[in-house]
Copies of this chain bind each other. A is one copy, B any other.
Amino acid sequence: MSPSSRRATSHDVARLAGVSQSTVSRALRGLGGMSPETRQRVEQAARQLAYVPFEAGRSLVTRATRRVGVVAGDLTNPFFPDLVEPMRAELEHRGYRTVLIPDSVESPADVQVMTDGSLDGVILTTARMGSRLPHQLADAGVPFVFTNREIHGFPADACVADNRLGAVATANLLVDLGHRAVGAILGPSDTSNGREREAGLLEGLNARGLYLDPARVRRGEFDFDTGYRASLDLLANTDRTSAIVCSNDVVALGACNAVMKAGLAVGRDMTIVGFDNIRMAGWPVFGLTTVGCDLTKLAAESVRLLMLRIQDPTRSHTRVVLDVNVVERASHGTASVN
């Protein structure tokens, strides 16, 4: 009935400007090789019709969508916002939109939505050994990059923190402070960062003549509850544990909450160290000492690798390992006298 409410197409703009449709396409993309007058006339007409190129039409022919999928865990786990936000910002900066793709152990990410051509590439932040997703993406020819976690030996680009070195540094910090009864809440053993941090901790401790007493070790997902519950458990069932090394900051925050809840002072009565240096680690109430990995850099570098991969799917794979540094705040202290 009312043809005016129809969405304007490049043909409409062409008609109004008195040019051909292809001229409209050229003009609006600023292609050069055309008279300034024509371009102006087209731009004027486009403005008048509030014309915005229809994305599906364009991507059907260009085979590009300027969208990238970010596979991440539950956003209410504070680690993911801190990783996704800089990712999103970097993607936006490069003219890409971010599509959120949830992934968890219980409900693995859906592959269909990543292989229907609606994404130019995918960033994987939750890789686990044995996961089928990377294979499926590779088979489908979808460019992707491992971030934060990787799958060793899998031929793909990756950007990760130097987890081993960070954990060694943690061990040294604790030993220097006089801790001998060190406890730990380790991450899942089917994740690269979980394993590397574990290995680094053992290595660092051993190098200083210390060992991890299995009685002081707990293991679980990288989440608050794991840290909270494991800490209460450690508090209830072990003696003299003076420090708890956590698989990441979110776990460490859970540990802080447990320790404080138990009436102990973090830093004085119990040393807690995290990993990642998420924003909340810097909140005054926590003052979490942690191994910092620049998440903004991690995001930027990951996006950069993905862009290169999209640009040239045949290029050789790159693995970027980011420096880490110990961020000393208030959650550590000398070992309390036994």
Report the Cα distance A78→B285, complex, angstroms: 16
Select which of B81, B261, B284 is within 8 A of A76 by beta carbon.
B81
A155 at the interface (CB under 8 A from B): no
A247 at the interface (CB under 8 A from B): no
| Interface 0/1 of A246-286, CB less than 8 Å to B | 00000001001110110000000000000000011001111
A139 at the interface (CB under 8 A from B): yes
A139 touches B50 (CB 8 A): yes
Closest chain B residue to A114 by CB distance? B52
- Complex interface: stretch among A32-40, A92-100, A160-168, A209-217: A92-100
- Indicate how many identical chains form the complex: 2
A129 at the interface (CB under 8 A from B): no
Report the Cα distance A178→B71, complex, angstroms: 50
Instruction: Place the interface of chain A in its size category.
Output: 35 or more
A338 at the interface (CB under 8 A from B): no
- Chain B residues with CB under 8 Å of A81's CB are 75-76, 78, 80-81
User: If the complex has contacts A56-B60, A117-B54, A118-B56, are A67 and B261 also in contact, measured as CB distance less than 8 A?
Assistant: no
Select which of B7, B102, B257 is within 8 A of A284 by beta carbon.
B257
A5 touches B141 (CB 8 A): yes
A11 CB, min distance to chain B CBs, angstroms: 15
A283 CB, min distance to chain B CBs, angstroms: 6
Select which of B74, B99, B256, B258 is within 8 A of A99 by beta carbon.
B99
A239 at the interface (CB under 8 A from B): no
A147 CB, min distance to chain B CBs, angstroms: 16
Select which of B76, B116, B228, B253 is within 8 A of A53 by beta carbon.
B116
| Interface 0/1 of A68-107, CB less than 8 Å to B | 0000001110101110110011001000011111100000
A113 at the interface (CB under 8 A from B): yes
Closest chain B residue to A81 by CB distance? B75
- Chain B residues with CB under 8 Å of A228's CB are 284
A59 at the interface (CB under 8 A from B): yes
User: If the complex has contacts A5-B141, A99-B98, are A75 and B75 also in contact, measured as CB distance less than 8 A?
Assistant: yes
Please report which residues of chain A, range 19-59, place their CB below 8 angstroms from some CB of chain B when the two chains form the complex.
50, 52-57, 59
A172 at the interface (CB under 8 A from B): no
The 9 sampled A-B contact pairs (Cβ below 8 Å) are: A52-B115, A55-B118, A56-B65, A60-B60, A65-B118, A75-B85, A88-B100, A89-B102, A97-B99
